[in-house]
Amino acid sequence: MQREEKKNQLHIVMFPWHAFGHISPFIQLSNKLSLHGLQISFFSATGNIPRIKSSLNLLPNVQIIPLSIPDVPGLSPDLHNTSQMTPAMAELLKQASDLMQPQIHDILSHLKPHFIIFDLILDWIPKIAAELGIKRISFSVFSAIAGAYLTVPARLISGHTLDDLTKPPDGFPATSVTCVKRFQARDFLYMFKSFDGRPGVFYRVIDCLRSCDAVAMKTCEEMEGPYVDFMKTQFQKPIHLTGPLVPDPLSGVLEEKWANWLGQFPDKAVVFCSFGSETFMNQEQIREIALGLELTGSPFFLVLNFPGGVDGLAELEKALPKGFVERVKGKGLVHVGWVPQQLILAHKSVGCYVCHSGFSSVIEALMNDCRLVLLPFKGDQFLNSKLIALDLKAGVEVNREEEEGYFGKEDICEAVKTAMADDGSIKENHEKWREFLVNEEIHKKFIADLVEQMKAML
């Protein structure tokens, strides 16, 4: 086969970590690459495939390869992703994932793809791929600011004690982000923790980034240029930007029960508050959020989720003040479980979105005409929030206490009122980024450029 012909028939294996916060961006990237005629083989554990099929474009050039999760004592064989797992069980899933190496070697030997695009947690992939002559692209589903602050070699030089982690690493770009609070830095310590003698997340990520042929990042220069440039200097290798991987245009209609409830209120009046499927709060935090939303005087729609095996309704009853649901009936709605977030954000009555600052959720929010209030709880969320509130000045972060991260109902109320009342810079900046994110031609070019960059690597 001629080299040029081979380039035009690229075969890409996509291998995300077993969490839907990781799987979803890999699906989005797969869908966009498949439209360029690339052959896609999507790897995931068997139990995840029904959900993947619901959003992966199953074109003739796309296939899903089911994987078996090896048995590990303490890990239920029914669990194939982190959505129903405690943090301890997620560590067992990493152990099981490490045991998948012979299985992955055999499948890759058979498929003979040109590239494997793999998750940063899967630090053993580069060695297998190199042995088989497969080009290796590590794909970060996180913002560039999170990578630049946490997972660069400079972090080892700057240190990773609690005090060290309140400050950026040496060489970090001069931006609005100069520090984090101690409760946030304490959460970052997890990155460096070893479980059962295995490398911590930081070391896995660094190994992946050092041993791949190129890095792909779910971001763009327009939003995160200084952080991307810092990552390039840290790793001295090509960094290809996929763009923010905006969701496809909305399809379907909002379920009648949600549409009817939202339809009672004037345009831009409702505060929608949701924290994704894997961000959980304690009872005190739930109570303060609910009371803070009530205190705003605005109608609100509060969505909560709980870890697998927890009776969400029972936990909600314990957390909320007695009689709260009845008291706010007609003006406040509290729901446990999944809701169609994109359709709700697009509803004309929704004027404010309170979220956990997951990067995908933030992008969805910026694509809609509703104000953004940021209440991060873990990891990269803290840095995403700073990107939006400080660098881009397109949202408001909820104020929290330095040491333990406490926030009260007044903090929630103040952030919502500030965001909704603003008719100046926050509104203007949000509108600027909304126009950028809904421009289809810009995002098509990100993917077209990525395809050309991959062809040039062969």
160 catalytic per annotation: no
Q: Looking at the chain, how many residues does it have?
A: 458
Position of tokens 């409830």?
261
The identity of residue 223, as a single letter, is: M
Which of 18, 119, 240, 411 is the catalytic position? 119
Query: Is-catalytic flag, 411?
Result: no
Separation between Cα atoms, residue 359 and residue 303, nearest integer Å: 18
Q: Give me the phi and psi of 410, to 5 degrees please.
A: -65, -35
Contact between 358 and 374 under an 8 Å Cβ cutoff? The reply is: no
**Using an 8 Å Cβ cutoff, are 182 and 207 in contact?**
no
Q: How far apart are CA 80 and CA 414, in angstroms?
A: 40
The answer to whether 370 touches 353, Cβ cutoff 8 Å, is yes
Q: Tell which residue, 252, 243, 191, 250, has the closest CA to residue 218.
A: 243
- The helix, strand and coil proportions of the chain, stated in percent and rounded to the nearest 5, come to 45, 15, 40
Q: Catalytic one among 18, 22, 347, 443?
A: 22
Q: What is the rounded CA–CA span in Å between residue 376 and residue 379?
A: 8
For 52, how many CA atoms within 13 A lie in the half-sphere containing its CB?
Answer: 30
CB-CB neighbours of 67 under 10 Å:
21
Residues taking part in catalysis: 22, 119
